[in-house]
């Protein structure tokens, strides 16, 4: 009987391992096989730099489809070595076992419709799934990334190649876990955005903040975080909120689906254009 249990356990393990492998293959089915470098380094005065920061819904957990890997020579990003490459999803590379579609490329493609033809976009990923705002403020090492030090290093890259124009921020699911972290979330945003702006050398740098979705089983807490975001935005003339209440999740009640991420990227771009007018 003991031997039979061992055999069943091994079979179940192999079945589970095979299922996880198939799931991972499906996740990465349309991931780009080759990274393309720009044919030339664009002139610095023509490059607008944006940072993506926060946790998993900014890092991206959506399904990458072929249309998300069609590059545009005017939209650049970086690889894990800090080299310039043409942007194809997924942009984030810190969590290779979980990487998926984020909102970066859709943001860039929408923005190109509204800006001068000579402008090149450089979109730099810094988000890490599961990270709390406290960990960002205190430069914690989370999932092998020192969160603020990593941001600082990416700011150096941004300054080298262009002009920093804004930060896209989406985070708060982790902080929705307790009443204590919810209560101080707006003051934590103030601290972090001060640090972001101080690091970039621009105290008026616009920050665009995405709401948490409206689909969580913990929705009351998520909406409490959204209320704190709105409270903070009212005190910061160069911070702007991105509405997400009509966006759907991918089936896990936690992460935006691919269509939601594309729409969110478009809304980040529309809000930026609105601020320029």
Structure tokens at 247: 């966006």
Q: Is the same domain home to 131 and 188?
A: yes
Burial 206-232 (b: 16+ CB within 10 A, else e): bbbbbbbbbbbeeeebbbbbbebbeeb
Q: Is the same domain home to 205 and 94?
A: yes
pLDDT digits (tens, 9 = 90+) for 38-97: 999 999 999 999 999 999 999 999 999 999 999 999 999 999 999 999 999 999 999 999
Task: Select the more confidently predicted residue: 242 or 3.
Answer: 242
- CA dist 102 and 134 (Å) reads 23
Residue 13: which domain range? 1-30
Q: Is the same domain home to 74 and 88?
A: yes
Q: Is the same domain home to 141 and 20?
A: no
Q: Is the same domain home to 137 and 216?
A: yes
- CA dist 88 and 102 (Å) reads 10
Q: Is the same domain home to 98 and 185?
A: yes
Q: Is the same domain home to 13 and 74?
A: no
Q: Is the same domain home to 18 and 106?
A: no
Q: Is the same domain home to 124 and 1?
A: no
Q: Is the same domain home to 68 and 182?
A: yes
- CA dist 29 and 8 (Å) reads 31
pLDDT at site 277? 83
Q: Is the same domain home to 134 and 69?
A: yes
Number of structural domains the chain divides into = 2
In sequence order, which residues have a C-beta less than 8 Å from that of residue 133 and are 6 or more positions away? 171, 172, 174, 175, 181, 185, 188, 189, 192
pLDDT digits (tens, 9 = 90+) for 184-217: 999 999 999 999 999 999 999 999 999 999 999 9
- CATH number for the domain that contains residue 41: 3.40.50.1110
């Amino acid at each position: 009987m003991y031997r039979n249990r061992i055999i069943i356990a091994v079979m179940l393990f192999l079945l589970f391992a095979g299922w996880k492998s198939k799931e991972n293959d499906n996740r990465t089915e349309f991931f780009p096989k080759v990274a393309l470098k720009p044919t030339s380094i664009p002139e610095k005065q023509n490059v607008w730099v944006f940072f993506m920061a926060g946790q998993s819904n900014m890092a991206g957990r959506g399904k990458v489809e072929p249309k998300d890997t069609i590059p545009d020579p005017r939209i650049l990003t970086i690889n894990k070595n800090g080299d310039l490459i043409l942007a194809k999803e997924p942009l984030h590379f810190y969590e290779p076992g979980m990487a998926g579609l984020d909102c970066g490329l859709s943001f860039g493609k929408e923005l190109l419709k509204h800006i001068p033809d000579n402008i090149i976009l450089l979109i730099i990923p810094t988000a890490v799934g599961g990270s709390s705002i406290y960990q960002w403020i205190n430069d914690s090492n989370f999932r092998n990334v020192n969160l603020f030090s990593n941001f600082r290093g990416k700011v150096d890259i941004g300054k080298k190649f262009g002009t920093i124009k804004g930060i896209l921020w989406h985070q708060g699911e982790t902080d929705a876990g307790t009443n204590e972290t919810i209560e101080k979330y707006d003051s934590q945003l103030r601290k972090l955005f001060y640090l972001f702006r101080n690091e970039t050398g621009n105290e008026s740098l616009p920050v665009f903040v995405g709401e948490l979705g409206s689909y969580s089983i913990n929705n009351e807490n998520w909406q409490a975080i959204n209320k704190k975001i709105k409270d903070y935005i009212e005190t910061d003339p160069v911070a702007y909120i991105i509405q997400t209440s009509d966006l759907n999740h991918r089936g896990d009640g936690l992460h935006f689906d691919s269509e939601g991420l594309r729409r969110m990227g478009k809304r980040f771009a529309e809000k930026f254009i609105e601020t320029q007018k």
